[in-house]
Chains A and B, each alone.
Chain A
């Protein structure tokens, strides 16, 4: 095993250890303070309002291929889909999920089915939809669903490129809340300009912790924050060492 592989394995091992340690430490203690992300507070309110008003909630999972790193953000989206499906299961118009990748469409159907079964509600497999297989056909399909279903709120959590602007524009035209986060840098720039509640960088991956998806989400958020500070310190130390001519 060479040095980079060893470092990679050590990093993953440390991260896992920190996650499990945090989960164990906080299992009987109050959850630690996490910085406020106002977007998630608004989404929780929007879910409540949508259930009361009988309007549809929409969650889009993007186009992340399941056998690539682009699927990780969609996994966060699926965790949140599970939460909102359980919260809004009793609604006249239960949530609908769209995606631009067939494996994600199947997983969204599975998540909605499981949530409906848990809540004892009816399940319709067509609530997990594949709206298109190319970036623009997917976005056009998701945008038309927002129009046709008059959704109360749209959550876009997945891998999106610039085509996501077509979906946020549809949300804007129907005057529904749009919260969006992606792992794609171009998509993030577009979302900053077009989404009502854009999530920047790792904020997207913190969604589960803020939406009450379980203790392990909180624990992984603690591990993320600790490692972020370690990386920041390493970068600063590296910059100083370079400046003084040691590196």
Chain B
């Protein structure tokens, strides 16, 4: 099996970071903090690469006349304008805030509203696609929580608030903890595979 230099570096850095987390040795902890700071800086540089990738994809889409070219043009113009305004005036200037409050927020708010509709439709569709006992329990629980959380036209159903808090604190909490334990074990397994060089998301 090939064992490139990049793998050795990744394993070494992973071991130092993990050891610095568990062992109370000042040198290890200083190294760990320094490595995490380097990773943060690299992630910031990667952001610039990501923006270049986004720009290139939409530029290609626009110039090749593919479907959705108009949307790509809007994205490129918005990206350039925002970069220009925020770069020139700074992120806290009134113009920069205007873009955020009058473009970004309404667009994301609209998508959130769309999401609410999609989830209602998905709930109904779930009963058609997977009409199992679990799906029925899922829908009933979601409805009880919704009815007890939102205003019900001034009507007060006795016991609904108590039922909601019981669901949230007992079965939902137990289920969530079970899922989190499984996820935690999965995270340890995935992390260890990367640490021993079995999984190499970096190819080197």
Prevailing SS type, chain A contact patch: helix
- The answer to whether B23 and A1 touch across the interface, beta carbons within 8 angstroms, is yes
Known: A183-B187, A193-B119. Contact between A148 and B68, CB under 8 A? yes
Prevailing SS type, chain B contact patch: helix
Write the nearest CB–CB distance from B86 to chain A, whole angstroms.
13
The total of interchain contacts (Cβ-Cβ below 8 angstroms) comes to 190
Chain A interface extent, by class = 35 or more
Complex alpha-carbon distance, A228 and B186, angstroms = 10
Residues of chain A within 8 A of B122, CB atoms compared: 165, 168-169, 190, 193-194
- The answer to whether B112 and A136 touch across the interface, beta carbons within 8 angstroms, is yes
Known: A103-B43, A192-B138. Contact between A69 and B187, CB under 8 A? yes
Complex alpha-carbon distance, A148 and B57, angstroms = 13
- The answer to whether B68 and A196 touch across the interface, beta carbons within 8 angstroms, is no
Instruction: Give residues 52-98 of B contacting A (CB, 8 Å).
Output: 53-54, 56-57, 60, 66-68, 71
Complex alpha-carbon distance, A192 and B139, angstroms = 11
Residues of chain B within 8 A of A76, CB atoms compared: 186, 190
Known: A205-B189, A216-B193, A217-B193. Contact between A166 and B22, CB under 8 A? no
Known: A144-B68, A194-B118. Contact between A201 and B179, CB under 8 A? yes
Count, chain B residues at interface, CB 8 A: 61
Complex alpha-carbon distance, A125 and B114, angstroms = 32
Complex alpha-carbon distance, A194 and B188, angstroms = 28
Complex alpha-carbon distance, A77 and B39, angstroms = 21
- The answer to whether B181 and A231 touch across the interface, beta carbons within 8 angstroms, is yes
- The answer to whether A190 and B179 touch across the interface, beta carbons within 8 angstroms, is no
Instruction: Give residues 7-51 of B contacting A (CB, 8 Å).
Output: 18, 22-24, 36, 39-40, 42-43, 46-51
Give B residues with C-beta under 8 Å from A: 18, 22-24, 36, 39-40, 42-43, 46-51, 53-54, 56-57, 60, 66-68, 71, 104, 107-108, 111-112, 114-115, 118-119, 122-123, 126, 129, 138, 176, 178-183, 185-194, 196, 198-199, 201-203
Closest 4 CB pairs of A and B: A102-B50, A205-B186, A202-B182, A201-B182
